[in-house]
């Protein structure tokens, strides 16, 4: 089976996975692949075509949905022989290139299937057992008693004034001199990222991103038709020399960064690093989008002022969220900016949606004003410190020689770098089968390349489960390392 790929997307060729699927269809229609023929394994075909395994998997999935092939667990993927039958023809919608790219990103995300009994160290979703359900219910009841139907109408795009004032006060406590009129409420940081990027870019522009970075930020960049330009991360944060070179490029319009409890690495940058970053951005006249989604979750060390608190030029657009410190269902975040940026944000927000959920905004403001949010944070931080310490102790005990990991002062995540020869995307199925979930490093790179790194979260699992999960993971890694070593020996022989 011969497959030839055109990889210059600027010339309008279909995505690579659709090219692969189309050429396999043609082989079947021409009867060069007959019914019952076994297609090459995904890994083998990906190696032959020099593409990511996920790309081949997407092609096989498309063929399976059309009934052209059938996959059997443990045996492989086989031709069904129906490719040329007219009665199986169906409408094949031609999606936009942006939609196709987002589909590729989505399908490349790990699928954990029915792994309910596994130790969950893969997601940054707060543990539901720690949600302040009763306190929030009481806050919601109080605001409905006072305001009733007023909270059930469309609100202003900027958000409920009471909640904006509460958030502005909270940000002032972190050193950000901001007023309620300089805050635009949004549906969590995810919407905030898209709004902030749209302030400065249009389709075809470039965005400077940390490498690795938050995978949903990569999706937002793709969904807006933007191009990521990777700036490598070091142990102390962004490589500042590389950042200076990137921001000097005219096609790069903005920097997106997570300086506090970085996702996925968990690190926080120093005051000196933050000041140097702002100086580089100012010299190159490039704005900065600061994602501070976990800012309230410090459990050790001294707080470092956010970039927005250090900014003297109006460069920084600051994103905040309550999804990690409270619970995701509240869907309240904030974009803080100055001057004309606020007017532009309001125009973008109006074009995006009519209003936020006023009952949730009102209840959250009540929770902050009555002190319940602060009490919840104190309890949550104590629990997170125990979980983080349990995870770090287990890593010391069970990780193989040569492994390294970060030691976060807050947030939910630890970044682990395994010894050479281990691809964590390939490791994941073995880990899931053994009863532990993690997030492989490839999904945090703009090009999805293979990675020997992984992210472990202590958000959902308690201390005992984390110790058990890391022990299981260590055993899986050692088995994988033994197999890789045997393969290397065979190659040398």
**Minimal CA–CA distance to 363: which of 186, 168, 143?**
143
Give me the residues paired with residue 72 across strands: 76
Q: State the Cα–Cα distance between residues 361 and 193, nearest whole angstrom.
A: 19
Ordered DSSP codes for 64-83: HHTTSEEEETTTEEEE-S-T
Instruction: Indicate the SS3 state at residue 185.
Output: strand
Classified as helix, coil or strand, 346 is helix
What integer pLDDT is reported at residue 10 of this predicted model? 47
d(CA 360, CA 375): 19
Compute the average pLDDT of residues 255-272. Answer: 97
Residue by residue, DSSP assigns 26-51 as HHHHTTSS-TTPBPPPHHHHHHHHT-
Q: Give the per-residue pLDDT at 113.
A: 53
Determine contact, residues 307/316, Cβ cutoff 8 Å. yes
Q: Domains of the chain by range and CATH?
A: 9-96 (1.10.10.10), 119-126+376-492 (3.90.1150.10), 133-373 (3.40.640.10)
Q: Please give the pLDDT value at position 7.
A: 63
What is the edge-to-edge ordering of all strands in the sheet holding 413-417?
404-405, 413-417, 453-457, 439-440
Most confident of 51-65, 451-465, 474-488: 451-465
Q: What pLDDT does 19 receive?
A: 87
Q: What are 180's two structure tokens?
A: 């309620």
pLDDT category at 111 given cuts 50, 70, 90 is low
Q: Is the model more confident about 439 or about 114?
A: 439
If we measure between CA atoms, which residue out of 450, 456, 446 comes closest to residue 423?
Answer: 450
What's the confidence (pLDDT) of residue 34?
Answer: 83
Q: Judge whether 135 and 367 are in contact, CB under 8 Å.
A: yes
Per-residue pLDDT averaged across 50-75, rounded?
80
Q: Please, are residues 491 and 421 in contact by the beta-carbon 8 Å criterion?
A: no
Per-residue pLDDT tens over the stretch 151-171: 999 999 999 999 999 999 999
Omega into 264 within 30° of 0, i.e. cis? yes
pLDDT band at residue 493, thresholds of 50, 70 and 90? very low
Q: Tell the residue number behind the tokens 């059938």, with chain if given.
A: 70
Residues in contact with 63: Cβ distance below 8 Å, sequence separation at least 6, in sequence order: 21, 24, 25, 69
Supply the mean pLDDT for the chain: 89
Structure tokens at 288: 């900065």
- The neighbouring-strand residues paired with 184 are 335
């Amino acid at each position: 089976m011969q497959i030839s790929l055109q990889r210059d997307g600027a010339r309008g060729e279909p995505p690579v996975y659709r090219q692969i699927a189309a050429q396999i269809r043609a082989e079947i229609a021409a009867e060069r692949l007959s019914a019952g023929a076994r297609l090459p394994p995904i890994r083998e075909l990906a190696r032959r075509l020099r593409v990511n395994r996920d790309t081949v998997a997407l092609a096989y999935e498309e063929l399976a949905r059309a009934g052209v092939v059938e996959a059997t667990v443990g045996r492989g993927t086989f031709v069904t022989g129906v490719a040329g039958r007219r009665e199986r023809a169906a409408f094949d919608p031609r999606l936009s290139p942006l939609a196709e790219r987002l589909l590729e990103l989505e399908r490349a995300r790990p699928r954990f299937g029915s792994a309910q009994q596994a130790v969950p160290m893969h997601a940054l979703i707060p543990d539901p057992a720690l949600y302040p359900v009763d306190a929030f219910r009481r806050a919601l009841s109080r605001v409905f008693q006072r305001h009733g139907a007023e909270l059930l109408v469309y609100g202003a795009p900027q958000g409920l004034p009471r909640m904006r004032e509460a958030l502005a006060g909270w940000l002032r406590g972190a050193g950000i001199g901001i007023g309620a009129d300089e805050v635009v409420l949004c549906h969590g940081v995810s919407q905030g990222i898209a709004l902030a990027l749209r302030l400065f870019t249009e389709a075809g522009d470039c965005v400077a991103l940390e490498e690795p970075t938050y995978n949903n930020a990569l999706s937002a960049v793709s969904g807006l038709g933007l191009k990521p330009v990777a700036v490598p991360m070091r142990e102390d944060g962004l490589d500042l020399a590389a950042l200076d070179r990137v921001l000097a490029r005219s096609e790069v319009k903005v920097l997106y960064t997570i300086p506090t409890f970085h996702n996925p690495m968990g690190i926080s940058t120093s005051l000196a690093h933050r000041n140097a970053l702002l100086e580089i951005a100012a010299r190159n006249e490039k704005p900065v989008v600061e994602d501070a989604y976990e800012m309230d979750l410090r459990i050790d060390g001294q707080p470092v002022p956010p970039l927005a608190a250090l900014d003297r030029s109006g460069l920084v657009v600051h994103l905040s969220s309550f999804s990690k410190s409270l619970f995701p269902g509240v869907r309240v975040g904030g974009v803080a900016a100055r001057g004309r940026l606020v007017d532009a944000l309001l125009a973008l927000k109006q074009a995006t949606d009519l209003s936020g959920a006023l009952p949730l905004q009102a209840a959250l403001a009540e929770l902050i004003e009555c002190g319940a949010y602060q009490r919840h944070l104190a309890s949550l931080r104590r629990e997170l410190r125990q979980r983080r310490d349990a995870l770090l102790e287990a890593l010391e005990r069970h990780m193989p020689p040569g492994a390294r990991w970060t030691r976060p002062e807050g947030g939910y995540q630890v970044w682990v770098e395994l010894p050479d020869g281990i691809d964590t995307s390939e490791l994941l199925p073995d880990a899931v089968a053994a009863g532990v979930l993690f997030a492989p490093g490839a999904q945090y790179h703009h090009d999805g390349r293979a990675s020997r790194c992984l992210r472990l979260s202590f958000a959902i699992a308690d201390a005992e489960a984390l110790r058990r999960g890391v022990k299981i993971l260590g055993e899986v890694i050692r088995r994988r390392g033994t197999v890789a070593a045997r393969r290397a020996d065979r190659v040398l022989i």
